[in-house]
Amino acid sequence: MDRMQCVLSGSRARATSLIGVLLATLLWSAAGVAGPPYKIAIDPAYGGDRGPGKPPFCDDLYKGEITLQVGLMLRDLMDRDPDLDPIMTRDSDVERTLETRLSVANERNADRLLSLRLNVVGKVISEQQKSGILTIRRESASQDALNLSNFIKEAMGEVWGELPNHGVQAFDYRILTEAQMPATITKLAFVDNCAQDASLLRDPVRLKQAAYAHHRAVRRSLGLAGHPDVSLGWGAVGGTVTEDRSTDGEDGAPALLGAWVGMRKKRAPVDEWADETTADLPGAKWRMTLPEGDYVLVAALEGYGTGERECKVLHNVEVDCSIRLLKTSPPVEPPEDLDAGGGEDAPWFLDEVVAPPATDTRPSWPRDVMGPPSERDENKSSGCATGHGATGPPPLSPALLLLALLVGALSLKGGVGSSARGGFRP
């Protein structure tokens, strides 16, 4: 009986503990303390910029299109992040009122709000602020809003470091004061600064960097460690392979059709290729589709030096990664026959090869000396001499001639003596 009471007592204790945990969970949820996935409202400002009386900035830039591009890129990043749930206040190029955009974020109980905007020179705070990035929070911002704005300022400074970073400033914009969650405004750049800022705003790769910066800042503000372990997106990378003539000061870059192109991960072994192809499209163009990340491009072609450069592949972005190769001079081998007619000191190479004359310009021998060609051949074969051109024995030198006469004289003297002793016999 005592044993049964102990079992029942333990069961009641465990049940009481379980009920306590459930009640604590309900009270935690009722208090509004949320956990992942966190809802993030993305607010691309403006919209519907194209139309009569709405000229572009710097010939081709519309504020609403730029903020929408960055907003959609940021949404795609958060869609693949299991800790975040993106909410778009607009997802097409239409103009929505501030009230409509605010109601989307507030009614969906977003945990953070990111408003993406652009600056113009005519609305600068001071004359010095004609370029760069500006992050804005409300005057009485919460600690979460302060953290969010500071993290965005730092992340944007990392990816767009060539632009001035004006830091975090406090202004009570309606979207900040009426939002029911920590909110911030990022003025990405000056859309009418055509000399510097506009080049970043029209480059999809740089816009994707801004989206990455906001993604990292949001995760940091929520206390999420590191980058989420999510499947990578895919992007396209391509370009051309051309000859580098910059050292010669020549214009134009001939296309190197047929060049080999390889891509490897930035920290991968040098022979571990993610993909490889040939620049065989018109104009020596090439193209690959790879998982997003940092890569090293290597290109090579016979007769040219190997080229190498870094490339970043981004999700749903076409990245240009063209490369130029320097032409190399092949080693020159000397000819086998070094006889250039000038002895050992004569150079074996000639700038121009001089061909022999088409006709024999040598003077012909007179017929009365050598005779016709047929007679010359006969004279050579028989060893007969017919004049100055005789082919007989060469003439003797004076010393040899004197020696021959002396030997003959001695021979003659010896012969006479023999005849005297032995008599002459006919």
Give the distance from CA 195 to its chain's centroid: 24
Bridge partner list, 44: 116
Same fold, 32-221 and 234-325: no
Q: Are 77 and 132 in contact (CB under 8 A)?
A: no
Q: Are 227 and 242 in contact (CB under 8 A)?
A: no
Q: Which CATH architecture has domain 32-221?
A: 3-Layer(aba) Sandwich (3.40)
Residue 1's contacts (CB-CB under 8 Å, 6 or more residues apart) are none
pLDDT at 36: 83
Paired sense of beta strands 234-243 and 84-88, if any: unpaired
Superfamily of domain 234-325 in the CATH hierarchy:
Immunoglobulins (2.60.40.10)
Q: Are 235 and 249 in contact (CB under 8 A)?
A: no
pLDDT at 236: 87
Q: Are 159 and 212 in contact (CB under 8 A)?
A: yes
Least confident of 10-19, 93-102, 334-343, 368-377: 368-377
DSSP 220-237: HHTT--S-------EEEE
Per DSSP, 425 falls in state: -
Residue 317's contacts (CB-CB under 8 Å, 6 or more residues apart) are 73, 204, 205, 208, 235, 236
For residues 341 and 348, give the distance between their C-alpha atoms in angstroms, rounded to a whole number: 9
The winner for highest mean pLDDT among 110-119, 216-225, 393-402 is 110-119
Q: Is the pLDDT of residue 342 over 50?
A: no
User: pLDDT: is 92 or 248 the higher one?
Assistant: 92
pLDDT at 269: 87
For residues 273 and 414, give the distance between their C-alpha atoms in angstroms, rounded to a whole number: 102
| CA atoms within a 13 Å half-sphere pointing along the CA-CB vector of 240 | 10
Q: Are 334 and 306 in contact (CB under 8 A)?
A: no
| Span 315-330, average pLDDT | 86
pLDDT, one tens digit per residue, over 347-398 is 433 343 344 444 443 344 333 333 444 444 444 444 444 444 444 455 555 5
Q: Is the pTM of this model over 0.85?
A: no
pLDDT at 9: 56
Structure token pair of residue 249: 């000061």
For residues 83 and 169, give the distance between their C-alpha atoms in angstroms, rounded to a whole number: 29
In percent, the amount of the chain with pLDDT more than 70 equals: 64
Q: Are 59 and 35 in contact (CB under 8 A)?
A: no
Per DSSP, 281 falls in state: B
The domain segmentation of the chain, as residue ranges, is 32-221, 234-325
For residues 198 and 212, give the distance between their C-alpha atoms in angstroms, rounded to a whole number: 19
